[in-house]
Structure 1
Amino acid sequence: MNILLIGCGKMGGAMLRQWVKDGGNSFTVADPVKPDLPASVRHVSKATSLSGAEFDVILIAIKPQMIAEVLPDYAFALKPDGCFVSIAAGCSVASISAIVGDRAIVRVMPNLAAMVGLGVSGLFANARCSAEQTADVTAWIAQTGTCVPVDSEDRIDRLTAISGSGPGYVFEMLRSYVAAAMDLGFDEATSRALVFDTITGTVEAARQSDETLEDLRNSVTSKNGTTQAGLEQLMRDGQLHALLNDTVHAAYDRAVALK
């Protein structure tokens, strides 16, 4: 596919690096200031520099509040059978349709781990998207990690609360876990290694196991042992479950409010 990226900030740039690495598509970036781009990626600073070029996909990777001002200048460059793909958080398909008309539009909610090829993205395609377009865009987004197609924009908002905002929750939990290790007397570098490798190994063990998470937890918890003592504090009065439940519901409510 011939793809135009409008904007190339942290998320757009992270995804672009993975796409270029995997190959197969050609890319042009439109940005007033030239970002650091791979050599194979063309850059234009304004729409008039496109010189009649036509694209299979136009990726909207700018801040939501900029879309109404910037997108009309580039919308003409989409082929008649092309589609718009938006990674702008909180920007609905209806908002984009109000600018570009009744066109094929895909809304994608990626997350930060796309920068290392381990992202999780939700994808919703409107009714104007053909099955082939949806499959092509899904495969393209999956080059940055896992891609989860959903059947409504509300599911995108719910996914945003879990995986879109999830790296923020995980970074904060990591920060607190590392701080606790340091409080036990380890230096920061050792604390980071202990915490990061423990979490990485545990996640991979769970991924490769057919057991439930509860069974896995129980399998490493000896009666009256150290893990049980720690878990009794972590799970006291159901506080961990309640906290995470409140966290994702607050994020979902905000995602709905932003549309």
Structure 2
Amino acid sequence: MRRDMKNIIKTDFKRALKGAKFPLAIILMFFVWEFNSKRFADSQDVLYLFVHVWGRSITPLLAMIVTSTVYVTSYCEDTENHFLRCSIQRVGIRKYVISKIIVVFCTSFLVVILGSIIFVIWQCHELPLVSSDSITVENFKSESCFGWLLPENTELYMGVQIFLDGLYCASMSVLSLALSTFVRDSYAVYAFPFLLNYFFIFLFSRIAVKYPMLYMEEIYNSATKTYTDDPVLLIAYALFVTVVFCGISGMIMLKKIEGEYR
């Protein structure tokens, strides 16, 4: 049974990674960073760009759209190509859903990670990673629970935030995959991560004032002011929320597909 599951996941990964979609999404992720960085032309270091391009522009929203282009539409494509029933009969509904969730999450996560790292490396050719009189260090060292990493371990400080950005976008991709079982339009699915983000902001807007850890951007933020002084709690809670999103997505897909094919 484990071998069957591995083969299913392997097949989905091959399907997701072959062709131009995956490398193109990484390139697009880089350009999302790069184009939005142009409004911060007077940046003194890469750290300043890294924090402000994500936090003060539409970069997160565009990133969610970019990550959805790799494999989020796979269910719609299976339906449109009349391949869904054949797949379910061959592997079963549960394995089909698990494989899709894993592959969508991993590919979306990797697009954010790789695209962001390429941007940082590219900017390091023109700017210092962190300047000796960095405004960003001065502003956020005492505000973030990971501020103790600055300036000596700036790479790790940025790495933590890139990891959280990856979780954020991958979670929205997985939820979009689940919602695609209702819409079944490949082009419409690309807008789901964007819409889901605003849905959660609206849903928790009032209560998040008192409990900021319910605000989506706070859950996955470690670079600026954080809702807690405990870095372990911040990472653990972000992972917990991500697991919840994946679990909910899996249940939605499972119930929807079971209702249609059983």
TM-score, normalised via structure 2 length = 0.31
Q: Whose RCO is larger (CA < 8 A, sep 6+)?
A: 2
TM-score normalized with structure 1 length: 0.31
The higher radius of gyration belongs to 1
The structure with the largest strand share of the pair is 1
